[in-house]
């Protein structure tokens, strides 16, 4: 009886830890978010941003000089946020499974927002914001 109870406690503990984990299907993966010409040739795609997804809902954007932000993945929406003492940037992607063999997700930027407190200061995010893709992108895992 005691042994069965201990096994039950162990199984329940494992389920609770798994449910409370901060990782998701993106955690531990790095993607080139790319635009391109030929849908059959990954070499014809050029990278607009490189996103590295970490545990605890953190993301590093290597095209913003390694800037660390946060992300939220809900259903088919991915929201990434970057913030410093003077500005903030939020990008929302509408994700779907890609039809391309070399890409995991196809996406469109469904919303983006850039705010700056003091426009006299040098901006880290403004040029990146204005260069965001205006058409579909592919999330190519690296």
Tens of pLDDT, residue by residue, the chain (142 residues): 565 544 545 444 443 444 444 458 999 999 999 998 777 888 889 999 999 999 999 999 999 999 999 999 999 999 999 999 999 999 999 999 999 999 999 999 999 999 999 999 999 999 999 999 988 999 999 9
CA–CA dist 91, 108 (Å, integer)? 10
Task: Tell me whether residue 89 is in a domain.
Answer: yes
1 domain residue, yes or no: no
Number of domains the chain is built from: 1
Residue 4 lies in a domain: no
Residue 91 within any structural domain of the chain: yes
In a domain, 105, yes or no: yes
Residue 48 is assigned to a structural domain of this protein: yes
Contact between 45 and 35 under an 8 Å Cβ cutoff? The reply is yes
Q: Is-above-0.85 flag for pTM?
A: no
Domain span at residue 40 reads 25-141
Domain membership flag for residue 83: yes
Which residues 6+ apart lie within 8 Å of 46 measured at CB?
Answer: 34, 35, 36
Q: Is 18 a domain residue?
A: no
Rounded Cα distance between 32 and 43, Å, is 12
């Amino acid at each position: 009886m005691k042994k069965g109870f201990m096994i039950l406690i162990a199984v329940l503990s494992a389920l609770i830890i798994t449910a409370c984990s901060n990782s998701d299907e993106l955690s531990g993966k790095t993607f080139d978010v790319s635009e391109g010409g030929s849908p059959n040739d990954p070499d014809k795609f050029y990278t607009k941003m490189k996103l590295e997804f970490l545990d605890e809902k953190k993301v590093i954007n290597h095209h913003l000089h390694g800037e660390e932000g946060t992300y939220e993945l809900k259903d088919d929406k991915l929201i990434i946020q970057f913030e410093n003492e003077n500005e903030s940037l939020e990008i929302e992607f509408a994700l779907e499974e890609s039809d391309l063999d070399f890409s995991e997700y196809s996406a469109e930027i469904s919303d983006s927002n850039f705010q700056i407190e003091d426009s006299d200061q040098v901006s880290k995010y403004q040029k990146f914001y204005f260069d965001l893709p205006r058409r579909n992108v592919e999330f190519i895992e690296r």
